[in-house]
Structure 1
Amino acid sequence: MTSKLKTALAVSTAIASVGVAGSALAEAHETYRIGITQNNVGVDSYQTTYESAFIAAAEANPNVEAVVLDAGGDVARQIAQVEDLIQQEVDAIIIWPTNGEAVIPAVRKAFQEDIPVIVTNSNIAEAGFDFVASFSGPDNITQGSRSAEIMCERFTDLGIQDEARVVQISGQPGYTTAIERAQGFEERLPEVCPNVELVETQPGDWNREKSQQVMEAFLVKYDDIDGVYAGDDNMGVGALNAAVAAGREDGITFVGATNFSVGYEAMEAGTYWGSIYQSPVDDAEAALQTAIDVLNGEDVPFLNYFDTPKITQDNMDEFSKPVF
């Protein structure tokens, strides 16, 4: 291993001997070593909470040793981390892909070494499906579709469903979640509101400040914006901040695709309309349990989705404020 790789791994690695609840595992009395390489823990509070929840869930059972890594958004680092986990001869690898296409060769290598790979949160590209034991996470296309329905329902209530204009702030280019949430929204919106126009899409890279800048440019370019769809509430609130600063928040419907605490607070304040409720705790626990189930030889669906319901100002009292 090169000194550069050693340094990268030393910076990004936190190793914890931890465990996960699971009666089948307890009965087997077998210790599994499970490695996870995450996308970019520091980029937003969802991923930070996911990591904490993953470690906390793992600590519940001493029969699992977890190797917890973070790629820091670097594709090359993540590939190196997968290769290192293979060299460590872990029993399973969980990967939150930095890029759905670029990680396929590394996932293939794990498959060739008979190490099952569980993809978490954001799936890899379809070309790599043959090398994956299971995907655990949200159905991102459905999330985008539900966001389109929220937007259309709001426009219909406002009586502007035949004339509304929408801009979209998508996530990081090349990132499967971003691609699928945009796809779901773009396919569903014309089905439910055929006369609503999606005038432009620009990436916000999951970053609130960049999304605010994107929205500032939209506000300069377009005099008439009725709705903003963002790939998550972090970006959506960035767009909202830009609109507030420009004095144009009134009359714009803001909809996200993962409800962050800042989005929930903006919904409480009446300035942000709706989103999709998704728990990073559920996400982390589901990924780890999926890995254990695969190792125990249980029948696990390839697409192991957990539900992510709609949340708007109208029904938000049915949901707890997100912890991220």
Structure 2
Amino acid sequence: MIRMTKLSLACSTALVAMGGAAAAQTITIGITQNNVGVDSYQTTYEQAFIAAAEANPDVEVVVLDAGGDVARQIAQIQDLIQQEVDAMIIWPTNGQAVIPAVREAYQAGIPVIITNSNIAEDGFDFVRSFSGPDNITQGARAAEIMCERFTDMGIQDEAQIVQITGQPGYTTAIERAEGFEQRLPEVCPNVTLMESQPGNWNREDAQRVMEAFLVQYDDIDGVYSGDDNMGVGALNAALAAGRAEDITFVGATNFAVGYDAMERGEYWGSIYQSPVDDAQAALQTALDILAGEDVPFLNYFDTPKITQENMGEFDRPVF
């Protein structure tokens, strides 16, 4: 049974019940997501989460979307506390700002699972488990992909690159940049990261950032983007400027548009991450915790490297 609420700009907290009252033994799990409308990954995640819940007759979920608004998400967390849900899943809009509300859920005795993008470390005491990708590892693997490509090209001692990060303050964006920036000098110490700018997980924003980079820098050998949605935005800018052939594009979270660009030979590599696996893992983590099972605090699923060379081993992403 699913209860979905998309809060309006007026921040209404009314819930719409779908399918009637829950059975006496039904487990109720509330989820508040970051921003379903921002990209196809989050849209697919929501669809997969609902499908997984519908497949379990003992589960009712209350599905909320914060629309990228921290204040709205805090209100949603407080609303789920008032509803006395059995467990709460939070996809944070901001890893630091949501901590006081997460603490309220903890104090109310509601186990909290953070999904996809972790909260800041000072909130860990109020969380039962994080379910999602290891974003620092993703960034590190992207750096390895970039370095391996430069080494094959023979430019590992002179290459210059730029970086397009995700939404400022968003843990995933911070961690993917951190992993990349830490790993790159370990594997390719002579590659120069010239500048980083946020693309806000948005293809058009990333395209504008890349347009500015192309004006500012005559020599760009590589672009690392925090996800393929932004990476393809950067690619589009380079294609329009006639400079794409000279640039190696590497991203994370392999979107369908990134996969297709790799197939065309325009985009070199990324990190393969499934929103379906992400959603199913979050729901299962909540159910395991409620069943009293021993669940690791950092409950990661694997996200392997994908490049033009091995992409035949992976299905085209569904988002």
Q: What TM-score range do you get, normalising by the shorter chain? A: over 0.9
- What is the letter of the counterpart of residue 155 of structure 1? F
User: How far apart are 1:9 and its partner, in Å?
Assistant: 3.6
1:62-101 residue pairs with structure 2 within 5 A? Answer: 62-101=57-96
Aligned residues: 310
> If the length of structure 2 is used for normalisation, what is the TM-score?
0.95
Give the whole-Å Cα distance in 1 for the aligned partners of 2:199 and 2:19. Answer: 37
Match of 2:163 among 164, 168, 172: 168
Matched, 1:241 2:244: no
* Alignment-derived partner of residue 35 in structure 1: 30
- What is the letter of the counterpart of residue 8 of structure 1? C
* Alignment-derived partner of residue 294 in structure 2: 299
SS in 1 for 2:201: coil
Contact 2:231 2:258 in 1 (8 A): yes
1:1-324 residue pairs with structure 2 within 5 A? Answer: 8-10=11-13, 16=18, 30-324=25-319
Per-residue CA deviations over 1:264-311 (Å, capped at 9, x if unaligned) read: 000000000000000000000000000000011100000000000000
Contact 2:13 2:79 in 1 (8 A): no
Contact 1:31 1:65 in 2 (8 A): yes
User: How far apart are 1:251 and its partner, in Å?
Assistant: 1.4
Per-residue CA deviations over 1:62-89 (Å, capped at 9, x if unaligned) read: 1011000000000000000000000000
- What is the letter of the counterpart of residue 35 of structure 2? N
Distance 1:5 1:279, change over 3 A: closer
> Which sections of structure 2, spanning at least 5 residues, go unmatched?
1-6
User: How far apart are 1:6 and its partner, in Å?
Assistant: 10
User: How far apart are 1:14 and its partner, in Å?
Assistant: 6.0
Give the whole-Å Cα distance in 1 for the aligned partners of 2:161 and 2:19. Answer: 48
* Alignment-derived partner of residue 26 in structure 1: none
Contact 2:87 2:112 in 1 (8 A): yes
> If the length of structure 1 is used for normalisation, what is the TM-score?
0.93
Give the whole-Å Cα distance in 2 for the aligned partners of 1:6 and 1:172. Answer: 20
Give the whole-Å Cα distance in 1 for the aligned partners of 2:151 and 2:220. Answer: 16
Give the whole-Å Cα distance in 1 for the aligned partners of 2:53 and 2:123. Answer: 27
SS in 1 for 2:162: strand
SS in 2 for 1:250: helix
Per-residue CA deviations over 1:102-130 (Å, capped at 9, x if unaligned) read: 00000000000000000000000000000
- What is the letter of the counterpart of residue 165 of structure 1? Q
SS in 1 for 2:299: strand
Distance 1:86 1:5, change over 3 A: farther
User: In percent, how many aligned pairs have the same letter?
Assistant: 79
RMSD of equivalent CA atoms: 1.6
- What is the letter of the counterpart of residue 53 of structure 1? A
Per-residue CA deviations over 1:133-190 (Å, capped at 9, x if unaligned) read: 0000000000000000000000000000000001000000000000000000000000
User: How far apart are 1:15 and its partner, in Å?
Assistant: 5.0
- What is the letter of the counterpart of residue 307 of structure 1? D
